[in-house]
Structure 1
Amino acid sequence: MVGVSILCEWAVRQGAGLGTLLRGSRIDPWRLADPDGLIEAQQEIVVIRNLLTAFDDRAGLGTELGRCYHLTAYGYFGYLLAACSSVRETLRYGLRYMPLTFAFSTMSAHVREPGQYVLGMASDDVPEDIRRFVVERDVAATVQLQREVFPGPGQVPLREIRLAHEIGETRRRAVYRDHYRVPVRFGRPRTELVFDVRYLDQVPPMANPHTALVMAEQCERVRAERLHRTGVSARVRAQLLGQDSLATSLEEVAEQLHYAPRTLRRHLENEGTTFRAILDEVRRGLAETLLRDPSVPRYEIARQLGYQDWSSFLRARRRWRTVVRGTSDR
């Protein structure tokens, strides 16, 4: 809801009517103030289409709005990035917790020669009529976020912006130049943000490992809660919670849900997770419940969680904590 609220606040300041913006979205105006409110992507798409109509879908509109997505709008995620020990760490966390942001684009990152660190934005799954807007918004918001993590002139070594779309209004190109202050290329094969590769080792001025760990734990909790709600992930989670013991495999769960293992794995990847991650999450939650009950013996806790003995559970518990600190699932 926060993302839609930012859209509406900006548009109302520019003279648009709130009722016009929300028409057909099934969003009541009073809900815009709810910081924990969640909506479906389709509802935001309706608001975006209303906004584009109100402002004649002018070039640069997404860039204008992307500048309004400040660090504080991202909640735990924003503070996590500010507290990271390096840009490499912000990248690792950023890719993991991208579903907690307002972005419609799919982000990727890689290093190219000579000395370039490139963030790519793919938008093939975005409806064509809003694609230019949401990509521009995602790119502008990404730059805005990084400039607030690294405040001060020249702290973010952005070298070039490449946009996959063209714009017909040459006079509107000033909107892009004013925000990015680097060359902006249109009609490129891919949408990309190009940085100096040395940026990856830069340390945010507010870096704090303790705060980063706390924020990562909160982001992990929110991510898990959202994955609970919909999709194949929710079906896998429900299947696991209904079993007497969590000593199971992806192949067994796939058979129970009438999927081929490869198909189930692909669905989970598309939802930004894995069977291992869901299994660990379910185990963590069940472990917290069982450990609060002193009448449950250790061997029974290990059995229900799917481990051969108590020592195996303790090793897994240490691994869970390592994953939250930002290392990849092993």
Structure 2
Amino acid sequence: MTTGTGETADQSPLPTSPVLQSTNRVIAAMTDPWDHPRTAVSVAIMCEFAAQGEIPVETLLTGTHLDTAALADVDTVVEASQELAVIRNLAAAAGDRPGLGVELGSRYHLTAYGYLGFLLAASASVRDTVHRGLYYAMLTFAFSTMTARIDDHDRYVLAFEADDMPEGIRRFVIERDLTAVMQIQRDTFPDHEAVPLREIRFAFPPGPAAVYRDYFRVPVSFGCERNEIVYDAGYLDLMPPMANTHTTQLMVAQCDRIRAERLHHTGVAAQVRAHLLDQSALDLTVEDVAEHLHYAPRTLRRHLEREGTTFRALIEEVRRSVADNLLRDRTIPHYEIAHRLGYQDWSSVVRAHRRWRRMRH
């Protein structure tokens, strides 16, 4: 949808962050943690990419507790740790070669981000998309931390850091995330010539020149101080061709809702969820998990309460997720499913499944 002639595409107020007050050169920065649940879209993209390189999907999903059926389910929620496991598996299976992240990142089209993709396409200006894209980072699949600034040469620079990523996949993650941002730009502005992109900078050693040249189509430098995309500052004032006030207002409401939900799935809650997903049987008590995470049970309960959840809610959520995967496989005996979910018998699984269905509807 496009705005009509003369329509002001000045949409709802942009989200703000204390980071923006630190310097007049920084215009936006990610503040939310990357360790949050996300849709299965990114894992599905990686599996499709791997399949074209004749890498079995099973190889990518090893150790993730995911299967191909789960990737096709729009209700599947993937933990950050599960997606990182897929990234490790893909990098290892593909030979961990430089440029691999660029090849993959080009497949992250605007439509992969759901409501956020529509919001970015409908925003009034690139400056708005920068603010909103970094504010709603929880709706993306990025493991990099991004900061947007105007440099001393009055150019707009988007910088990427991934210092908390394992060294073996750090380059891959940076390449994928940086290229995914570039792909959003290209989907938003089909006329590439209208975008004043000037340079790509990587802190890594050089890779195969053709991979970077063919995709970025601008000078690519290696061994730089930071990983960055560099534009003329005028890029921030461009209006996306599909800018639309009404759509923006609708999408902001949806993105706010999802971001709030995912904030409740980070921190200590994320640690509890990740530990539960690693268990062979979900018959654990809060005392069991507290001991593993080195908390007193009362302290663990207090942390979860601050994050808007409880141990009971988390174990129910994990049971529901695990059950969705197990119940698709008709070859698994009922007693095994019951044991994996931490129930004494199959009738308990049936009652729980009915309860979960009611909650969804």
Q: Aligned partners of 2:268 and 2:72: how far apart in 1? A: 30
Paired amino acid for 2:107: C
Give the structure, 1 or 2, with the largest relative contact order (CA under 8 Å, sep 6 or more): 2
Q: 2:149 matched to which residue of 1?
A: 110
Q: Is residue 163–residue 190 contact of structure 1 (8 Å, CA) maintained in 2? A: yes
Aligned counterparts, 1:38-187, within 5 A? 38-167=77-206, 169=207, 172-187=208-223
Shift of 1:153: 2.8
Amino acid at match of 1:136: E
Asked whether the 8 Å contact 2:120–2:129 carries over to 1, the reply is yes
**TM-fit CA distance, 1:233:** 8.6
Give the Cα separation in 1 of the matches to 2:60 and 2:172. Answer: 15
Paired residues of 1:227 and 1:233 also in contact (CA < 8 A): no
- Residue from 203, 206, 209 that aligns with 2:239: 203
Counterparts of 1:136-285 in structure 2, within 5 Å, are 136-167=175-206, 169=207, 172-231=208-267
Q: Secondary structure at the match of 2:198?
A: strand
TM-score, normalized by length of structure 2? 0.63
One-letter amino acid of the structure 2 residue matched with residue 94 of structure 1: G
CA distances 1:49-97 after superposition (whole Å, capped 9, x unpaired):
1111211111100000000000111100011000000011111111110
**Which protein is richer in helix relative to its size?**
1
CA distance in 1, matches of 2:263, 2:78: 14
Structure 1 unaligned residues grouped into runs of 5+: 235-256, 259-263, 265-274, 280-330
Identify the match of residue 8 of structure 1 among 33, 47, 63.
Answer: 47
Deviations 1:205-225 (A, max 9, x none): 100011011101100000111
Cα offset, 1:125, TM superposition: 1.0
Amino acid at match of 2:79: E
- Rounded to whole Å, the distance in 2 between the matches of 1:176 and 1:70 is 18
Distance in 2 (CA, whole Å) between partners of 1:48 and 1:22 is 10
> Secondary structure in 1 aligned to 2:146?
strand
Question: One-letter code of the match for 1:131?
Answer: R
Contact 2:138 2:262 in 1 (8 A): no
- The aligned amino acid for 2:153 is P
How many Å separate the matches in 1 of 2:256 and 2:193?
32
Partner secondary structure for residue 229 of structure 2: strand
Local SS of the residue matching 2:76: coil
Q: Offset of 1:229 from its aligned partner?
A: 2.5
The Cα shift of 1:156 comes to: 2.1
> SS at the partner of 1:229?
coil
Matched positions, count: 238
The answer to whether the 8 A contact 1:147-1:155 is kept is: no
Instruction: Give the distance between the partners of 2:150 and 2:95, measured in 1 at CA.
Output: 38
